[in-house]
Amino acid sequence: AMSVRPIHPVDAEVPSATVLETAYNKVSKYMSLEDFFVVWRACGHSLSDALLRGRGCKISNFALFGYNTRNEPSFFLDQVFEQTNRVKQGGKGNMSNTVSNSKLSLAALSQEVKLPSRLCQHVVESTLATAADFIKQQCTVALSFQPVGIFTCNADNVAFRFSAEFKEKLSNALKGVKLPARAAKDLSAR
C-alpha cells in the first residue's frame, strides 16, 4: 500500500487562507480565484442570514449552526465529519432550541453569486475536504466562515468561535424573541 506523505509537519498550524488556497487549487480549472472567494464569502453570509432570522443552517456532512437552550449561537459538528476525520466535539449541548434546521442552499448561493450551482458545490465541498485532509495530517486547522466566525480543529479539540461583532449583531436581531419554555426555565435557575 502506498502511503501519502503529509504536506505539513504534524501539529502544524494551517490558517484559513492556506485551506482556501489549497481548496482553490483543486477547482481552479473550473473557476477563477475571484469567483471561488465570492462563493465562499456568500456561504458565510448565508449562514449569517439564517442565524439572524433565528434559524439553524446545516452544511451537509460538516456541521449544524444553530442555538443552544439559552438562545446563544452554537456549532454542532456532524457525526459523519467526526467519524471520517477521527475527531470529536466535546460538550455539544442540546440543539432543541434550533428553530429550523435548513440546509445550506446551493441553489440560493448560485442565484446570489450568479454562478452555476455545481461550481458553488465544488467550492464548498473542496474547501471542507481540504480542511479534512489537513486534520487527517494532524494539523491544527482554522477555517473562516465570515462574518459568522472561525472553525478550528486539531486531534484534541474542535471549536467554532463566533465573532464578537456577529454575536452583537445577533443579540440585537433576536431582541424580543421569546425563548422556549424549557430555555426560560434553564435561565431562571441561575
Q: State the chain's mean pLDDT as an integer.
A: 82
Evaluate whether residue 97 is within a structural domain.
yes
Three-class SS string for 114-158?
Answer: CCCHHHHHHHHHHHHHHHHHHHHCCCEEEEEECCCEEEEECCCCE
Residue 6 located in a structural domain: no
- How do residues 124-145 score in pLDDT, each as one tens digit? 999 999 999 999 988 999 999 9
Q: Which helix (H) or strand (E) holds 73?
A: strand 73-77
Residue 5 maps to a domain: no
Query: Looking at the domain assignment, is residue 57 inside a domain?
Result: yes
Q: What mean pLDDT is predicted for residues 62-68?
A: 89
Q: What is the share, in percent, of the chain residues with pLDDT greater than 90?
A: 51
Residue 101: domain span: 13-183
pLDDT higher than threshold 90 for residue 42: yes
Number of domains present in the structure of the chain: 1
Question: pTM above 0.95?
Answer: no
State the pairing for strand pair 13-14/140-145: parallel
Do the domain assignments include residue 190?
no
159 within some domain: yes
Burial class for 124, CB neighbours closer than 10 Å (0-12, 13-18, 19+)? buried
Pairing of strands 158-162, 63-67: unpaired
Q: Tell me phi and psi for residue 160, to 5 degrees.
A: -130, 125
Distance CA 147, CA 34 (A): 18
